[in-house]
Structure 1
Amino acid sequence: MTSTSADTSPEAVDIRTSAGWFHPLAALLLLALAVRLPLAFWPNVNHPDEIFQYLEPAWRMLGHDGIVTWEWRDGIRNWFLPTLLEGPVKLGDWLAPGGAGAFIVARLAVALASLSIVVSAWFFGARISRTHAIVASFVAAIWFELVYFAPHTLSEPLATALILPAALLLTGRLTRNRLVIGGALLALALVWRFQYGPAIAVIALGPCWKQWRNVIPMVAGGLVALSLSAMVDAAHGVVPFEWLILNIKQNLLQDRASEFGVSSTIVYLGYESVIWSGATLLLLCALWRGSRHVPLLVVAAIVNIAFHSAIAHKEYRFIFLSVVLLIIAAALGSADWVQAMRTKPAWRRWALPLVAGGWALISLTLADASGPMRDNWMRGTGMAQLAAQLRDDGELCGAAIYVTSYHLLPGRERLVGGAPLYAFQLKDPLASGRLPDLAREHEAAFNRILAPPETASELPSGFSRRACAEMGRDGAACIFARKGSCDAAAGGSFAINDVLVRMNY
């Protein structure tokens, strides 16, 4: 299922003989770093999972307190990614104590991991020509969706950062070492994001399509990675891979994920048609042209979209792997256009700059924060702004969340630096219909409240409004403060984790 053009093009080059091309690749990697690393400091959150499923558990591994969500209480998450992130979180907290450093350094590490996509794109292109290598890696370096997700500590971009080099190793000229390493990378990606299993299966079947003996070294590499995952599970005192069984039981059999939203089967097509906007037709034309170079990647992308379309709960991030595979294929197709333009003397010098410039212009236009991507760029920044003020508040001794979703929080330790955190939520069975009274009854436990501005009249009389920030579609939230100390014993059963247990969140 690999293209034969790699064997016929006069510019084609094998990976093992391409060492002389590392200078332009290094320049493209520097470009990728220049557009990715600053975003690690931008405090947007694509989804609460990047905090509560990965950074918070890593933070707790260092002996700190934190918010524990239902996924961890029910044991449906594995410890591999939090364990991997423990080092960056620890380093970040040492460099900038108080939570912000732990957040930033972890995001920097993930952004660096995303460079594997840029490198893989280069070598996929290098199998065709130098031009294809430059265009593919340039697009992987600057395309706005790839850049946006690069610093987010989510399983989708991290698994994709493994799947791309694995796909590179398992196509082209196969060796035993490439099969072993490729199998290990795919197995590790499967542990990190098992929902990518169908797409991973497509890539794994590629080298076995005609030579089933290739299965043996690939499986051997995969077993090494799975053994490593099992050891991580055991080190945390849980039965290896029990999380996988429990996850399937909760989300697929009991349909727990549907509680967080249900979308139509074709919603992913709608997502991309909105995000790609007026460039959709041009991208599809390039993709059609490029699919002949990397048919296996395109098939894997389509299978991944089809699988996730069959699941009721859908989110844009779930198909990140497909976006990456399709964009790389489209970039390779556009490199064909460069070569076609070069056959005309008038266009020979300008073909590559025009196509590369076109990709850059489209990417910048679609990434514009005033367009469909605005919510993605801004999500979570308002609460992060308030969290930073609370972290720097020397008089803070306890904080409460009042009718403000904990999902908006950037994590307990980042929010209050270890001070007790309480919650008064509409869905709490213990607080139903009595929120204002309960807030007044327990006000001695906290001297700061995060609440929507319109709820000011419901709060205890001693609290006055300070800073406010917009939460996008979730309205606004403000810090309300009172003078004086806190009595933790007055918090009763409204500590954040107790409330989450009652709400089954």
Structure 2
Amino acid sequence: MTSTSADPTIDDAKATGSIKRLRLLAALLLLALAVRFPLAFWPNIIHPDEIFQYLEPAWRMLGHDGIVTWEWRYGIRGWFLPTLLAGPVALGDWIAPGGAGAFVVPRVAAVFASLSIVVSAWFFGARVSRLHAIVAAFAAAVWFDLVFFAPHTLSEPLAAALIVPAALLVTDEPSQKRFVVAGALLALAFVCRFQYAPAIAVLAIGACWRRWRNLLPLVAGGLVVLLLAAIVDVTHGVVPFAWLIANIEQNLLHDRAAEFGVTPAITYLADFWILWSAAGVLLVAAIWRGWRHAPLLLVVALANLVFHSLIGHKEYRFIFLSVVLFVILAALGSADWIVALRSRRAWRPWAVPFVAGVWALLSLALAGASETMRDNWMRGIGAARLAAELRGDPDTCGLALYNLPFHLLPGRERLSGPSPLYALQPGDPLARGHLKELVQTTSPAFNRILARPDAAADLPAAFSRRSCAAVGNGDACIFARSGACAATSAATPFVINDTLVRLDY
């Protein structure tokens, strides 16, 4: 019996094919990066959480002063995510001191984290064909929801960037090593966004449904991360995972989340209609065609959507994981359409450009089609402009917020820098009923005020209006006086964090 060696021609063809696939994937990643990277420098803020729940705590970890919200006073936030962000915050402050770098570099890191979704989409598609891989990765690279959320330091996009590759690992020729890694990713996603626990559980059960022994390496990988998260909590002087219990207590027993609004169960369906418009019908058709290629993704997406629909307080960002999975499934379905079109000779050369063009054009159109998206792109821009002016003013020695919510602003360091920051708010028990008199008596402590334009009559005569910009649902203006600031006992109780304690905010 003679031994035969492998055909070198076949080996060369496989190597050439692998190189082509890697080049295609690299090109799609560069495309994704090209549309996301500039957004890291665009200072819009989707929600105050990305500043006050993550970047401000990371900033305080580095020994700086920052705004402490009620969530941190009540201990309902974990330290793991701010600790992860502390490195990019420190690097950014070293590159560009003064708050701007500490804001931008973490957003750049979030952009790179989002690329895991594009890579995962490629490999989900590659299970079917190279065509499906290209279309899935292209859709994940350009779809406006995924692009818009990519630079924001929020728990939802960061958790999704961990769950999607974990789903890939546990469904694509899974091995014990892959289950360990997937378990670590899922545990990290849980620590970042524990509200994704039902979706994570559905994914784990679905992946282990036929071979329950795979739960062991999955749990083992997760326990390693949970232990690390516990160590981080202890390092910060808190009981491990006490934040989880406190969060459930505040939001379920004390209904704190309801204070921010309660909407009906169909809210997310309405959101899809508002943001996706009639294109949503096309996407549903594509999902219906493509779900068979990755049925577990559809189950996870629906489980996450249903769970969040049962919660009274709803925000579109909460279901970002479902949005990502729906887009991947729709992309796989649209690739099936390409296969069908290519079976017709007249369509053969145009099928791929046509479907890819539809994805790109729909994404570009929907990115600014609705009033909601236009508002999202501009949210926080006016506040950032006013903050940059204040932060760059060498004459600023103290700043007061007069009847202007702090959460509309981009964080303490970017707003006032080393200057003291005061908050004069009508709901404050120490200010209620005499806010106008209070600003007069405390004004020696600050020479800049941020207030609504119609508050001009309440302010001391020495303050004149300068720049104004859209902040929240109205304009806000900088009012300035000449001269220095003097310490005064009248202003001391109104340092912003003391005011927030009294407001329980």
Per-residue deviation at 1:207?
Answer: 2.1
Task: Letter of the 1:177 partner, please give it.
Answer: K
Counterparts of 1:370 and 1:323, CA distance in 2: 17
Task: Letter of the 2:81 partner, please give it.
Answer: L
Per-residue deviation at 1:281?
Answer: 0.8
Q: TM-score, normalised by structure 1?
A: 0.95
Per-residue deviation at 1:305?
Answer: 1.0
Query: 1:107, 1:151 within 8 Å by CA — same for their partners in 2?
Result: yes
Per-residue deviation at 1:253?
Answer: 2.2
Structure 1 stretches of 4+ with a deviation exceeding 6 A read: none
For residues 328-383 of structure 1, what are the alpha-carbon distances to aligned partners after superposition, in whole Å with 9 as ceiling and x for unaligned?
10011000000000000111111000000000000000002764301110111110
Per-residue deviation at 1:112?
Answer: 0.6
The equivalent residue for 2:451 is 451
Query: 2:452, 2:476 within 8 Å by CA — same for their partners in 1?
Result: yes
The equivalent residue for 1:36 is 36
The equivalent residue for 1:6 is none
For residues 283-338 of structure 1, what are the alpha-carbon distances to aligned partners after superposition, in whole Å with 9 as ceiling and x for unaligned?
11111111111111111111111111111111111000010000110011000000
Counterparts of 2:369 and 2:453, CA distance in 1: 26
Greater shift in the superposed pair: 348-357 or 432-441: 432-441
- Aligned pair in 2 of structure 1 residues 176, 370: CA closer, same or farther (>3 Å)? closer
Query: 1:369, 1:377 within 8 Å by CA — same for their partners in 2?
Result: no
Per-residue deviation at 1:20?
Answer: 4.9
Q: Secondary structure at 1:348's aligned position in 2? A: coil
- Aligned pair in 2 of structure 1 residues 273, 128: CA closer, same or farther (>3 Å)? same
For residues 466-494 of structure 1, what are the alpha-carbon distances to aligned partners after superposition, in whole Å with 9 as ceiling and x for unaligned?
0000125x201000000111123342211
For residues 220-263 of structure 1, what are the alpha-carbon distances to aligned partners after superposition, in whole Å with 9 as ceiling and x for unaligned?
11111111111111111111111111111111222111111111
Counterparts of 1:60 and 1:255, CA distance in 2: 28
Q: Is 2:231 the counterpart of 1:231? A: yes
The equivalent residue for 2:428 is 428
Query: 1:44, 1:381 within 8 Å by CA — same for their partners in 2?
Result: yes
Q: Aligned-residue CA RMSD in angstroms?
A: 1.2
Task: Letter of the 1:238 partner, please give it.
Answer: V
For residues 23-57 of structure 1, what are the alpha-carbon distances to aligned partners after superposition, in whole Å with 9 as ceiling and x for unaligned?
00000000001000100000000000000000000
Counterparts of 2:294 and 2:331, CA distance in 1: 11
The equivalent residue for 2:301 is 301
Task: Letter of the 2:351 partner, please give it.
Answer: A
Q: Is 2:481 the counterpart of 1:482? A: yes
Q: Is 2:466 the counterpart of 1:466? A: yes
Counterparts of 1:33 and 1:179, CA distance in 2: 29
Counterparts of 1:27 and 1:371, CA distance in 2: 33
The equivalent residue for 2:344 is 344
The equivalent residue for 1:400 is 400
Q: Secondary structure at 2:216's aligned position in 1? A: helix
Query: 2:274, 2:370 within 8 Å by CA — same for their partners in 1?
Result: no
Counterparts of 2:172 and 2:40, CA distance in 1: 35
Counterparts of 1:260 and 1:426, CA distance in 2: 19
Counterparts of 1:437 and 1:298, CA distance in 2: 59
Number of aligned residue pairs: give it.
489
- Give ranges in structure 1 of 5+ residues lacking alignment: 1-13
Counterparts of 2:309 and 2:68, CA distance in 1: 29
Per-residue deviation at 1:83?
Answer: 0.5
Q: Is 2:285 the counterpart of 1:285? A: yes
Counterparts of 2:463 and 2:37, CA distance in 1: 40
Please show how residues 33-182 of structure 1 align to structure 2 within 5 Å: 33-182=33-182
For residues 115-154 of structure 1, what are the alpha-carbon distances to aligned partners after superposition, in whole Å with 9 as ceiling and x for unaligned?
0000000000000011100000001000000000000000
Query: 2:397, 2:484 within 8 Å by CA — same for their partners in 1?
Result: yes
Q: Secondary structure at 1:469's aligned position in 2? A: strand
Task: Letter of the 2:389 partner, please give it.
Answer: Q
Task: Letter of the 1:75 partner, please give it.
Answer: G
Query: 2:308, 2:314 within 8 Å by CA — same for their partners in 1?
Result: yes
The equivalent residue for 2:5 is none
Counterparts of 1:308 and 1:281, CA distance in 2: 22
Task: Letter of the 1:94 partner, please give it.
Answer: W
For residues 184-207 of structure 1, what are the alpha-carbon distances to aligned partners after superposition, in whole Å with 9 as ceiling and x for unaligned?
111110111000000011111122
Counterparts of 1:382 and 1:401, CA distance in 2: 15
Query: 2:275, 2:370 within 8 Å by CA — same for their partners in 1?
Result: no
Query: 1:420, 1:488 within 8 Å by CA — same for their partners in 2?
Result: no
The equivalent residue for 1:503 is 503
Counterparts of 1:275 and 1:475, CA distance in 2: 24
Per-residue deviation at 1:278?
Answer: 1.9
Counterparts of 1:488 and 1:388, CA distance in 2: 25
Q: Secondary structure at 1:289's aligned position in 2? A: helix
Task: Letter of the 1:450 partner, please give it.
Answer: L
Q: Secondary structure at 1:281's aligned position in 2? A: helix
Query: 1:180, 1:222 within 8 Å by CA — same for their partners in 2?
Result: yes
Q: Is 2:207 the counterpart of 1:207? A: yes
Counterparts of 1:413 and 1:332, CA distance in 2: 45
Task: Letter of the 1:483 partner, please give it.
Answer: S
Q: Secondary structure at 1:394's aligned position in 2? A: coil
Q: Secondary structure at 1:328's aligned position in 2? A: helix
Q: TM-score, normalised by structure 2?
A: 0.95
Counterparts of 1:60 and 1:343, CA distance in 2: 60
Counterparts of 1:102 and 1:419, CA distance in 2: 18
Per-residue deviation at 1:18?
Answer: 5.3
Greater shift in the superposed pair: 63-72 or 19-28: 19-28
- Aligned pair in 2 of structure 1 residues 19, 190: CA closer, same or farther (>3 Å)? farther
The equivalent residue for 1:186 is 186
Q: Secondary structure at 1:487's aligned position in 2? A: coil
Q: Secondary structure at 1:488's aligned position in 2? A: coil
Counterparts of 1:158 and 1:369, CA distance in 2: 26
Counterparts of 1:23 and 1:489, CA distance in 2: 65
The equivalent residue for 1:9 is none
- Give ranges in structure 2 of 5+ residues lacking alignment: 1-13
Q: Secondary structure at 1:286's aligned position in 2? A: helix
The equivalent residue for 2:7 is none
